[in-house]
Amino acid sequence: RSVLSPEVRVHSYAEVTGSVLLDNVSVGRNAVVRNAIIDKNVVVPPGTQIGVDLDADRQRFAVSDKGIVVIGKNTKLGPPP
């Protein structure tokens, strides 16, 4: 289950599970978002994976002890490697 705020856009073939997405978040085509809290005005580029590889996520984001990935407001995400 996930919570999607107003103006959230999840593009085709994207997967969002167990997450909270705040206002004006856009999840690109084929992106995966699992167990994450994403603050306002974040664009998740197509093909990006968040919450899939927590070690990789720790390099870019805050990750809780329980494996929740937290992405702050207005964070600019580059394309996936």
pLDDT score, position 32? 99
Check pLDDT > 90 for residue 80.
Answer: no
pLDDT score, position 10? 98
Closest alpha carbon to 6 in 34, 40, 29, 37: 40
pTM: predicted TM-score of the whole model, two decimal places: 0.94
Q: How many angstroms separate the CA atoms of 46 and 30, rounded?
A: 6
pLDDT, tens digit, 9 for 90 and up, residues 14-57: 999 999 999 999 999 999 999 999 999 999 999 999 999 999 99
pLDDT score, position 41? 98
Three-state DSSP class for residue 81: coil
Closest alpha carbon to 53 in 22, 80, 74: 80
Q: How many angstroms separate the CA atoms of 7 and 53, rounded?
A: 27
pLDDT score, position 56? 95
3-71: CATH architecture: 3 Solenoid (2.160)
| Domain positions in the chain | 3-71
DSSP one-letter string for 10-28: E-TT-EEES-EE-TT-EE-
